[in-house]
């Protein structure tokens, strides 16, 4: 007649106990970095327009860029852009068949993308400061 239901299953799912694989974390971070890059594009275009509007606008943009908080935001934007580019290249390499389609290769490429993005993030920090 009907299926029997296992009474031992959890009633409430505890999200703090779920462990995502490294490939899932890489995929989620790639999407988040894409959103950050998209939003940052508007901010950076506004700042570029301000700096090109007049000599006073350039001085105002230079004064804005002198703040530690703005430098930190610029570093975060560059870090997100670097990770998004590295993740995109990782996906392209997989799509074109240059990487094996195995879980081991996926894990290795995800860890490699984290390491490369961390190095690029440090370089972005040196560039900004």
Nearest to 78 by CA among 27, 123, 24, 25: 123
Grouping H, G, I as helix, E, B as strand and the rest as coil, residue 14 is: coil
22 close to 28: Cβ distance less than 8 angstroms: no
Q: For the purposes of burial, counting CB atoms within 10 Å of the CB of 60, is it exposed (0-12), middle (13-18) or buried (19 or more)?
A: middle
Q: Which residue has the tokens 């239901």?
A: 5
User: Was 84 annotated as part of a binding site?
Assistant: yes
The tokens for 43 are: 């901010």
Binding site for heme, by residue number, is 84
């Amino acid at each position: 007649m009907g299926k029997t239901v296992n009474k031992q299953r959890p009633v409430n799912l505890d999200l703090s106990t779920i462990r995502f694989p490294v490939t899932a974390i890489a995929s989620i971070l790639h999407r988040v970095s894409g959103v950050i890059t998209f939003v940052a594009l508007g901010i950076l275009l506004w700042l570029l327009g301000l700096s090109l509007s007049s000599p006073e606008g350039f001085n105002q943009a230079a004064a804005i860029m002198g703040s530690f908080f703005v430098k930190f935001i610029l570093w975060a934007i560059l870090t997100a852009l670097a990770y998004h580019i590295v993740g995109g290249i990782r996906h392209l390499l997989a799509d074109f068949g240059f990487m094996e389609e195995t879980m081991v290769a996926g894990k290795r490429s995800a860890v490699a993308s984290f390491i490369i993005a961390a190095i690029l993030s440090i370089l972005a920090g040196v560039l900004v400061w």
